[in-house]
Amino acid sequence: MKKSIYAIVALLFATWTLTSCLKDNDTVTTPECSITSFSVGDFVSQVKVTRTDGTDTTYSRTISGKNVFFNIDQVNNVISNVDSLVSWANVTRLVPTVYADGSVVYKYANDSIYYYFNSGKDSIDFTNPVEFVVLAYDGVNRKSYTVKVNKSATDADSLIWTRLNSADITLSGKSHSVVANNHLYVFADNDGTPTVCSTSFLSEGVSWTQPETLTATDNAVIDYASVVVFNDVFYALGNDGRIYQSTPDEHGQNWTKVNDLTFKQLLGADSFRLYTSDGTQIMGSEDLQNWITYGTSHIDLLPQTNISTACYTSKTNSNIDVVVMAGLNSALEDYASVWYKLSAYDNDVDQEWNYINISSENKWALPKMEELQMFHYNNHLYALGLSTDGSGYQTFYRSDDNGITWREVTSLFMPPMSLRGTTEPISICVSGGNIWMVQSGNKVWRGRLSSL
Number of H-type helices and E-type strands within the chain: 1, 35
Reading the chain (452 residues) residue by residue, the pLDDT tens digits are: 334 434 434 443 443 444 333 334 444 445 578 999 999 999 998 877 655 455 667 778 888 888 788 999 999 999 998 777 877 889 999 999 999 999 999 999 988 899 999 999 999 999 999 999 999 988 888 999 999 998 876 665 678 888 887 677 878 889 999 999 889 999 999 888 999 999 988 777 788 898 999 999 989 999 999 999 999 999 999 999 999 999 988 989 999 999 999 999 999 999 999 999 999 999 999 999 999 999 999 999 999 999 999 999 998 888 999 999 999 999 999 999 999 999 998 877 889 999 999 887 777 899 999 999 999 999 999 999 999 899 999 999 999 999 999 999 988 889 988 899 999 999 999 998 899 999 987 888 999 887 66
Distance in angstroms (rounded) separating the CA atoms of residues 72 and 60: 30
Give phi and psi for 213, each to the nearest 5.
-70, 135
Please report, to the nearest 10 degrees, the dihedral formed by the alpha carbons of residues 392, 395, 396, 400 taken in order. Answer: -150
Q: How is domain 2-148 classified at the architecture level of CATH?
A: Sandwich (2.60)
Q: Which amino acid is at 392?
A: G
CB 240 within 8 A of CB 184: no
Q: Half-sphere exposure (CA, 13 Å, Cβ side) for 218?
A: 15
Provide the phi-psi class of 231: left if phi over 0, else alpha when psi is between -120 and 50, else beta. Answer: left
The model carries a pTM of: 0.67
Distance in angstroms (rounded) separating the CA atoms of residues 432 and 163: 18
Written as one string, the DSSP assignment of 190-254 is TTTS-EEEEEEGGGTT--BPPPEE-EEGGGPPB-GGG-EEETTEEEEEBTTSEEEEE-GGGTTTE
CB 270 within 8 A of CB 258: no
3 state DSSP class of 4: helix
CB 119 within 8 A of CB 106: no
CB 194 within 8 A of CB 213: yes
3 state DSSP class of 139: coil
Pairing between β-strand 142-148 and β-strand 78-81 as defined by DSSP bridges:
parallel
| Domain boundary assignment for the chain | 2-148, 159-449
End-to-end CA separation in angstroms for the chain: 50
159-449 adopts what CATH topology?
Answer: Neuraminidase (2.120.10)
- Nearest alpha-carbon partner for 276 in 256, 295, 258: 295
Contacts of 245 (CB under 8 A, 6+ apart): 233, 234, 235, 236, 255, 256, 258, 288
Q: Which amino acid is at 338?
A: V
CB 386 within 8 A of CB 396: no
Contacts of 238 (CB under 8 A, 6+ apart): 216, 218, 220, 221, 222, 223, 244, 255, 257
Distance in angstroms (rounded) separating the CA atoms of residues 72 and 85: 17
